[in-house]
Structure 1
């Protein structure tokens, strides 16, 4: 519509400038007068402005001035129309590369390592998302969901993704190949319910470490032989081993347990009474639970040594010739390990890990990559 109006203004301007009548006195006043007689008089009833305008246009010079003005107005209108359209196209392209226009809402506990994994992926890829912090006691924020754990990622308010590794794999699949919808991609990760060794029903997901791509896309993402299997191996290692070292280390002593719960209460969503209860009673409970976890996972008496070994094993797997396990850029294993370790920041266990392992340089590179959204598609 704006473009049509602009074209009309340009035609009018040109016709006024090129018409011989524009050079004759009274022509423009006749034109304006006709417009006024058809209902435009109100536009000029301000302190004699209409009469001054008409008198100034009684000459051919006035006609040429009006023609230039109309033509200039048309040109400016055309410029702004083009500018607006370019801005629209750029905005559409930005939406396309930043996640295909997906509206993402993450339901989380901020200090949960699995939630931190998902945030690491979203931040690195520059995907905009909203966060809903869930109260870990009442969990009212996810009462609508049959799945009662976090993280949960809602896509466009309709598709629910559960399990951190499923969330990451399905989003990565979508970013590489947008021909399939998120609903279609989710069918590649079917639920599987089972009973664990303690008699508790658990939900697992088939294929959750696979990125579902065609042969050509797989070759592009994983150009070297063995890269995909290596990524999957270490993603599973992060879930099955590394994450289980966090609690025994951050709740290793009563002092560390109190410091950890002080951090959890500050960063989480607790009421006043809930926060007090969580800090002191929760810290005492987790101190006891951490001891049980140490026994369940066959950890050493000094659980720091298991943490140090795990982190150094990771750094050794990356090697000296690569910045990340993914090469020059982080892959999904890098993002998973970074997300898990990040939840210890600000605690004694994190400081000890940075001081007593070889992880520091890799970790700082990951921080920068995440902060700068270096995985955003261009």
Structure 2
């Protein structure tokens, strides 16, 4: 509770207690004796009611006799009791109002349903970490997916806001929350309406769900100018966020499952970091590794990758570093923007694997990567 509220409550409580004390004194006085609000008053001089915060109220009471005195005492007791009741009621109401105000200031309750090794989930975590947004993580079993059985949307990441608003798709989650952080006058629910869901059937006959505007922030003209002060910053950020989703992500699997030994190492990491039962873990490690080794070959053909898929990874990463240039620490300038966090999140899922070590050793990405990592770990985007 704020200091001003406490001072007012203390003053009101003091007044109420004084009135109660007066009532008790009146009831305990012998008939015919003058009754004063404060015992220090002289029988022949002015009678003080109370003094609080430098304000002194003076009252003169007539002598009280018999039933009239008891009646007056009861009146003071009743008044004091009602005063205390109203004081407590007021304090509780103000405290609840202050808590509601604090909650409306942006203290969202966030729950992220994820696979730890999923690049799209890693993107969302990078955003939440960088902005210092407290969140609970629920690791989803990739086989049974019981943790998200309540959702008709069966992919991860899923972000629940305040236990009632469901956000799907990593880029929608990031755009929606970033918009909210810039303009908290809009609720998450209202912002989410700007990213409508679109269902369609892809070239393989499978129904897919997409979201309109997912790389846009829903800002006013003034907010856009403040967020993107230099010409072209917004378009550049959107371009590379989409590049991370449409190209960089597709280089991960062919590289981490490039050989049978790398596939085994990758699934050992996935089982260790993920949520698997004993049997599921054993099955996933060996059967999954073999399956993904074969699938990675198919992905290589689908995305027209070179025989040595490392070369595609190296080129992509170096293209990214070149786009940042030598004069900028991040693509966002002195601070990471949404494209920085997206690319970092995608690349981070390879940490601890051979593909990551090779990338760090054979490209120019290391310096930028460590800068973003440090910024995320230290919540440097928190305001």
TM-score, with length taken from structure 1: 0.78
Q: Structure 2 matches for 1:1-378, cutoff 5 A?
A: 3-4=7-8, 6-7=10-11, 100-377=106-383
Structure (1 or 2) with the greater helix fraction: 1
Deviation at 1:96, TM superposition (A): 6.5
Distance in 1 between residues matched to 2:242 and 2:181, nearest whole Å: 21
Q: Secondary structure at the match of 2:326?
A: coil
Tell me how far apart the structure 2 counterparts of residues 303 and 237 of structure 1 sit (CA, whole Å).
18
Q: Which residue is equivalent to 2:72?
A: none
Tell me, in whole angstroms, the C-alpha distance in 2 between the residues paired with 1:92 and 1:355: 51
Q: In structure 2, how many angstroms separate the alpha carbons of the residues matched to 1:231 and 1:168?
A: 13
Distance in 2, matches of 1:193 and 1:95, equals: 35
* Structure 2, unaligned runs of 5 or more: 30-50, 53-94
Find the aligned partners of 2:306 and 2:103 in 1 and give their Cα distance: 49
Report the 3-state secondary structure (helix = DSSP H, G, I; strand = E; otherwise coil) of the residue aligned with 2:200. strand
Q: For the aligned residues, what is the CA RMSD?
A: 3.2
Q: Offset of 1:352 from its aligned partner? A: 0.5
The 3 A distance-change label for structure 1 pair 6 and 116 is same
Number of aligned residues? 322
Q: Give the secondary-structure state (helix, strand or coil) at the position aligned to 2:194.
A: coil
SS state at 1:130 partner: strand
Distance 1:188 1:172 in 2: 13
Q: CA deviation at 1:6?
A: 3.1
The structure-2 alpha-carbon separation of the partners of 1:212 and 1:254, relative to structure 1 and needing over 3 Å to count, comes to: same
Larger displacement relative to structure 2 (186-195 or 239-248)? 186-195
**What displacement does 1:224 show?**
0.6
Secondary structure, aligned partner of 1:188:
coil
Aligned equivalents of 1:368, 1:299: Cα separation in 2? 32
CA 1:96–1:341 in 2, change beyond 3 Å: closer, same or farther? farther
CA distance in 2 between counterparts of 1:274 and 1:368 reads: 35
The CA deviation at 1:101 is 1.7
| Separation in 1, partners of 2:172, 2:148 | 18
What SS does the corresponding residue of 1:223 show, helix, strand or coil? coil
Query: Is there any run of 5+ residues in structure 1 with no aligned partner, and where?
Result: 16-30, 39-69, 72-86
| Structure 1 position 7, deviation (Å) | 2.8
TM-score normalized by structure 2?
Answer: 0.77
Query: Counterpart of 1:264 in 2: which secondary structure?
Result: helix
In the TM superposition, residue 89 of structure 1 has moved relative to its aligned partner by 12
